[in-house]
Amino acid sequence: MGYFDFKEIKYEGRNSKNPFSFKDYNKDEVILGKKMEDYLRFAVSWWHTLTALGTDPFGGPSMERSWITDDPIETAKRKIDAGIEFMQKLGIKYFCFHDRDLVEEGKTLAETNERLDIVSDYLASKLKGTDIKCLWGTANLFGNKRFVHGASTSCNADVFAYSCAQVKKAIEITKKLGGENYVFWGGREGYETLLNTDTEKELNHFAYFLKMAKDYANKIGFKGQFLIEPKPKEPTKHQYDFDTQTVLSFLRKYNLEKDFKMNIEANHATLAGHTFNHELNMARINGVLGSIDANQGDMLLGWDTDQFPTNIYDATLAMYEVIKNGGLHSGGLNFDAKVRRASFEADDLALAYIAGMDTFAKGLRIASKLYEDKVLENFIKERYSSYDSGIGKSIDDKKTSFEELEKYALAHDNIVNTSGRQEMLEAILNQYIYNN
Ligand code: XUL
Ligand code: CO
């Protein structure tokens, strides 16, 4: 028995009028030497797609979720069947989960862990014989009220211990499911007011928690890449993992930089006052671009709306960074995105994924052409050409001094700059978007 009425989604090309078809995502088509599906490595988010019910602060559930029953284990298993059916019909090969998306918590931690064992065994058995894999697992250290003051940054040591126990189990399950990465999004790791907060102590605890997690992963032979997902605010006012550069300086202070990369989420980037491609660029140039949570925010709203990505401009610039990164390696494009509350029918889930997948496929097509034609590269190279010879080269090679530079500046103080040509470049980018 199936949970979704829609049929397998196929590539029908640009002119198709069938909403249940891909217009740009042609999985086997080779772009820059790789199949589209290998470049994009799309993933389903277990939470938004199969678990969340469409509640908001003003209203209750709205979503059709035909797999839900009164029995948590039964629901968890049916959800797995539904998830696999959904992924197979869309041709998506990866999924991401929080421990608590797999199965509802029991009355005690021991009971919760037992439930997780049963459900993860069931999931592992269902994955056998399919080509579906786990992109990443994570622990939900924010939903339950025990995390009101945070998890590893809680003022309550019992909560710190509980968080470690929960992550230990989540890593074990991610390993069992063959997870290629493990994510830490700092749920409630942040604070509301300095009137009651010892930030130094909290950050020390946070680092120790991450170190113990990595040590435990090494101990049990879990080889997945550890990722941190920056977000500047929400749920707390000051999230410690504000953005890529903030996280990098934290990791470097605590000597954790070799063990962690970034999972960059588009909507988190914009909440931080950055563009999505700024965050990807910062991660890339620092060698820590690990994976992507593909979604988009609403520029008129100040919170994480987690919409399906349909903005081709942003997807193009994002894929440009991914291409410059040589791909996402063990990472992928996880749709950390939810349909709007009014899009409550099961079909809406498929239509939303089609929109997101086509947007990124289109972004990849356009970005690959920009990259092949070296449009931006050539312009940028020329823009910095004053560093190719003479005094510029000495600066680049770090073979000069303040004294020499002063002598040079005294003799060359009639400075001539050239235009940055931003509008011309934006027009060229538009041409690539229209023509590809
Ligand atoms: C929250 C968020 C999370 C993480 C995983 O804003 O993005 O869903 O991706 O915990
Ligand atoms: Co996310």
CB distance 336 to ligand 1 below 6 Å: yes
Please report, for residues 159, 300, 302, 391, the alpha-carbon distance to residue 396 in angstroms, rounded to integers and kept in the order given. 50, 42, 41, 9
**Gap between the Cα atoms of 171 and 217, Å rounded:** 7
Catalytic residues: 98, 101
Average pLDDT on 33-40 reads 98
Average pLDDT on 234-250 reads 98
pLDDT of residue 223: 98
pLDDT digits (tens, 9 = 90+) for 100-133: 999 999 999 999 999 999 999 999 999 999 999 9
Q: How far apart are the first and last CA of the chain?
A: 41
Ligand 1, atom 8, lies closest to the CA of: 336
Taking CB atoms within 8 Å and a gap of at least 24, the contacts of 311-315 are 311/359, 312/359, 312/362, 312/363, 312/366, 312/433, 313/429, 313/433, 314/266, 314/275, 314/276, 314/277, 314/363, 315/359, 315/360, 315/362, 315/363
Dihedral angle of Cα 192, 198, 199, 201, to the nearest 10 degrees = -140
The values of phi and psi at residue 239, to 5°, are -75, 135
CB distance 243 to ligand 1 below 6 Å: no
**Could you count the other beta carbons within 10 Å of the beta carbon of residue 388?**
11
pLDDT of residue 296: 98
Average pLDDT on 158-183 reads 99
**CA-based nearest residue to 47, from 19, 92, 83:** 83
pLDDT digits (tens, 9 = 90+) for 62-102: 999 999 999 999 999 999 999 999 999 999 999 999 999 99
pLDDT of residue 308: 98
Please report, for residues 153, 191, 193, 234, 235, the alpha-carbon distance to residue 241 in angstroms, rounded to integers and kept in the order given. 12, 11, 16, 11, 12
Q: Which residues contact 192 (CB under 8 A, 6 or more apart)?
A: 236, 237, 238
pLDDT of residue 70: 97
* Axis-axis angle for helices 346-372, 312-324 (nearest 10): 60
CB distance 185 to ligand 1 below 6 Å: yes
Side-chain-side CA neighbours of residue 216 (13 Å): 18
Instruction: State yes or no: pLDDT of 177 exceeds 80.
Output: yes
Answer positive or negative: Cα dihedral of 327, 330, 332, 337: negative
Ligand 1, residues 45, 183, 293, 333: which to mutate, most atoms within 8 A of Cβ? 293
CB distance 265 to ligand 1 below 6 Å: yes
The vertex-280 CA angle with 227 and 216, nearest 5°, equals 10
pLDDT of residue 416: 97
Average pLDDT on 52-59 reads 96
Q: And the tokens for 195? A: 């009137």
**Is the pTM for the entire model greater than 0.75?**
yes
Q: How far, in Å, from the CA of 265 to the mean position of ligand 2?
A: 6
Q: To the nearest whole percent, how much of the chain has pLDDT over 70?
A: 100
Average pLDDT on 419-436 reads 98
Answer positive or negative: Cα dihedral of 362, 365, 368, 370: negative
Average pLDDT on 189-196 reads 98
pLDDT digits (tens, 9 = 90+) for 360-415: 999 999 999 999 999 999 999 999 999 999 999 999 999 999 999 999 999 999 99
pLDDT of residue 160: 99
Instruction: State yes or no: pLDDT of 228 exceeds 80.
Output: yes
- What confidence tier does 1 reach under pLDDT thresholds 50, 70, 90? low
DSSP state at residue 59? B
pLDDT of residue 162: 99
pLDDT of residue 36: 98
Ligand 1, atom 4, lies closest to the CA of: 185
Question: What H or E segment, with its residue span, contains residue 365?
Answer: helix 346-372
pLDDT digits (tens, 9 = 90+) for 269-312: 999 999 999 999 999 999 999 999 999 999 999 999 999 999 99
CB 433 within 8 A of CB 311: no
* Beta pairing class for 238-239 and 190-191: antiparallel
Atom of ligand 1 nearest to the CA of 231: 6
pLDDT of residue 93: 98
SS3 236: coil
The vertex-96 CA angle with 184 and 126, nearest 5°, equals 135
CB 369 within 8 A of CB 323: no
CB distance 46 to ligand 1 below 6 Å: no
Q: To the nearest whole percent, how much of the chain has pLDDT over 90?
A: 100
Side-chain-side CA neighbours of residue 260 (13 Å): 28
